[in-house]
Each structure stands twice: as C-alpha cells, then as structure tokens.
Amino acid sequence: MHISDGILPASVLVAGFTVTAAWIGYTARKLDADDMPRVAVMSAAFFVASLIHVKTGTTSVHLLLHGLVGIVLGSQAMFAVLMGLTLQAMLLQHGGISTLGVNACIMGIPALLVGWTYRYFGTGKPSAFRVLLAGALTAGAVVLSALMACLALFSAGRDFQIVIGGFLATTIPIIFIEALVTGGAVSFLLKVKPEMLSCHTSTLRQSA
C-alpha cells in the first residue's frame, strides 16, 4: 500500500521524510549489532512479500506483511519497512522515490502500533489467543494504513475523492487476506519456533 511519485504536494513529501528520519534516527542508536541481521531478514521478507500475489477474483493483490514485521520486530519495524520500500522503489520501480518518507509512515506507523499492542496483550497468553490477536491487529493495521494513505491523497486536493473511493474499495479484500495470512504465519511460527515471536528481541541472541 503506497503512493506513487508525482501525486503528492511537496509539503506532504517533506513531512513524510521528516517523521521517518526522526524515528529512524531515534531507533538507529538502539539497533544492536546482533539485531542487524535480524532486521535485514525481515526487510528482505517484507520486500519479497510484494512479489507474492494473491488472486481476488479478476485482479490480484500482493501481500503487505507489515503487520507481521511489527509483530516480529517491535520498535525496529520502521527500519524493515523503510528498507523494504526503498528496495522496492529502487529495484522494482514499485512505489516511489519522492514518496518514500510518506510511504514509510503509511506502512511503518501501523506496524509499530501492531508490534507494541501485540507485545502488551499477547505476552504469556495461549497460542490460540495470540494467533487471533495477530490476525485482528493486522486487519487493524491494514485499515489504518489505508486511512493514512487516504489522508495523504486528500492533501493532494478535493478532486481525488473518487480516487480515494476506488482505493478504499481495493483495500477491503486486502484486510481479510492480510489478517488470515499473518494469522497463519504466526500460528506456524508458534508451533515451530515460538522464541521468534516471544516478546523479547534478545531471545535469539541467547540461543546463538
């Protein structure tokens, strides 16, 4: 879910870059050497998600997985989102260069919220609850991302109302797809490698 080059006014582009840079700058200092490969793994996964297409009747949409990125990485989710988006824009010409900041906010802020909420409510709960929580939060993240994208589009002018409507319509199937796929992935991981989703980033470090 992203906005292409050429649509948004300069002020919104600048605001997007500012918010993203501020958050990245703030968390970059906390990024541990041991965390770096982990964040890279999730960034690559986020990138690859855009190449997994799901058929929705006549058209197809691709996976977003920003909810899952939030669940796995927590506060560092913004990193993975920014890197994934940058690579998509640079390597696949998918998304936009001037809109990188805005798009990172659209995808990253919901991912962060999902990460925090999942950690707050999910810790120590049974698997079934955590799967449901992950699915529900991801659905919320898609809705929030869509609303933020609409807000950005709205800033481009009143004439975008029908564009916004069309955009929202395409979002509806994505809500279900993302919730089910992320729920499925979380349920899979809880079975085979629960420590990946345990709410501390340092667990992997202890086992390594």
Which positions from 151 through 190 interact with other proteins, judged by CB under 8 A?
157, 159-163, 166, 173, 176-177, 180-189
- Residue 147 C-beta: closest distance to other proteins, Å: 19
Tokens 């824009």 appear where? 89
* Cβ at position 199, least distance to other proteins in Å: 16
The site map against other proteins for 16-35 (x = CB under 8 A) is --------xx--x--xxxx-
* Residue with Cβ nearer other proteins (32 or 128): 32
Q: Is 196 in the site for other proteins (CB under 8 A)?
A: yes
Burial 139-158 (b: 16+ CB within 10 A, else e): bbbbbbbbebbbebbeeeee
Asked if 13 interacts with other proteins (CB under 8 A), we say yes
Residue 56 engages other proteins in binding (rule: CB under 8 A)? yes
**Closest distance between other proteins and the C-beta of residue 91, in Å?**
4
Listed residue (127, 133, 100, 88) closest to 115, CA to CA: 133
